[in-house]
Structure 1
């Protein structure tokens, strides 16, 4: 089932066209990862699909209707977005931050209802943040902060969640903490998740669907096995890489060893053949 699509989408900054004639479909109930080199347009695409940017031409369709022609509150009941490096006011507690996710459902002067409080409590529990509910967000670790922001997005009770590089500036343990949480949310709630990811191996491991972007156009789309190919890695990232199966999950792993076009002699440096043998490739 497909609920979210783009149709002939053009996106521009001033007079400079960043994305042209983009047509993609986001699988419902799956995790989709947008990947590409810096400046490829993937974050711009995400922001436009999440209604943070207005397209120059074309449309983003949710259930067949343009999201840019719907009211802000109506869209906010259907999709939530966690932007890159969000910041909260000093002293704002986790529970206060998460309660902001109830804005689309509030009327009048924003009175908090019993239902709102129950949803906020559920979102905090679902993200494993109960013990930090009264702690200021600015006193949390990087992974804990990301979980608090994800809880706020969950409190919107949307079927679709957008995240722009949710693991940026996090160490490896906190990256796994956030990605495993997203995986759990997808599996338990059948939530559609669309995220921009820098690490190809994270995308391959946690996403069901990958879209490789180069200069605002799609260079590859499909399962990790369909996108993590030598040809697409050369075209999109300008790298040569060995692709081996993850020994635990079987999904493809990318082991870069040179820039595309480098002399053959450089491509056997650092004993990458021994690495392949050890990995069973």
Structure 2
């Protein structure tokens, strides 16, 4: 049975539909990259599937039931989302932030249990943040901050993790740091990861499944080899590009060299 999928999803803002008739199945235990130009609707789709916004029509199904009809805490035990540019309260330490990931397992505002603390310690360890656990989040570098937020999402103990442009505003080293961590979580923990990605070459290197989106519609989906071709790049991004094989992995890489005539 498909675990997470949409049926005829329509999503809108201020009486304007951004996405219509979306049918998308999330590949279980894979990394999926949603790609498209600015304003294509990819972040909107991510938020709707992760239950952050309610669709105008259609449904998102999680384990056979409509996700918007399930209790919030029940959904929060199944999936976690890291939005774009999250901000922690001033002075909040990494350990405190990661502890917030345990909220689906609490009634009211009780203190962390022994099991909670073990899960928090594990999340901090697996993201390589032990030496920063007592440091305020607002004193960390961009890459460290992003790892702290990922640790909080991991502390939720979900098998599905959504990330909206997790490498935005990070330098190249920190981008690789975050992407390699996500790849490690997918391979070692079998986490299903769905992320909105701007850099096409990051998408082909780290995702096994790609979904190319234009004006809220899926233009192409499949392996990087399927999606990364000149025709899709012309239609979705309005660019002319050469496609070469990565000498290390063989995945397709995009080298743009011009705009299409219609762009």
TM-score over 0.5 (shorter chain): yes
Match of 2:245 in 1: 245
> Distance between the aligned counterparts of 1:126 and 1:110, measured in 2?
25
| CA displacement, residues 220-248 of structure 1 (integer Å, 9 cap, x when unaligned) | 00000000011100000000000000000
The TM-score normalised by the length of structure 1 is: 0.92
1:15 CA displacement: 0.9
After superposition, residues 208-219 of structure 1 pair within 5 angstroms as 208-219=208-219
1:109 CA displacement: 2.9
SS at match of 1:169: coil
> Distance between the aligned counterparts of 1:254 and 1:4, measured in 2?
30
| CA displacement, residues 86-113 of structure 1 (integer Å, 9 cap, x when unaligned) | 0001100000000000000012432310
Match of 1:14 in 2: 14
The TM-score normalised by the length of structure 2 is: 0.98
Match of 2:135 in 1: 135
RMSD of aligned alpha carbons: 0.8
1:64 CA displacement: 1.3
Q: Larger Rg: 1 or 2?
A: 1
Instruction: Give the unaligned 5+ runs of structure 1.
Output: 263-281
Match of 1:150 in 2: 150
SS at match of 1:11: strand
> Distance between the aligned counterparts of 2:101 and 2:83, measured in 1?
14
List 4+ stretches of structure 1 deviating above 3 A. Answer: none
> Distance between the aligned counterparts of 1:7 and 1:230, measured in 2?
29
Match of 2:43 in 1: 43
> Distance between the aligned counterparts of 1:4 and 1:30, measured in 2?
12
Does the CA contact (< 8 Å) of 1:9 and 1:59 recur in 2?
yes
1:261 CA displacement: 2.1
Match of 2:126 in 1: 126
1:42 CA displacement: 0.1
Instruction: Give the unaligned 5+ runs of structure 2.
Output: none
After superposition, residues 128-207 of structure 1 pair within 5 angstroms as 128-207=128-207
1:28 CA displacement: 0.3
Match of 1:117 in 2: 117
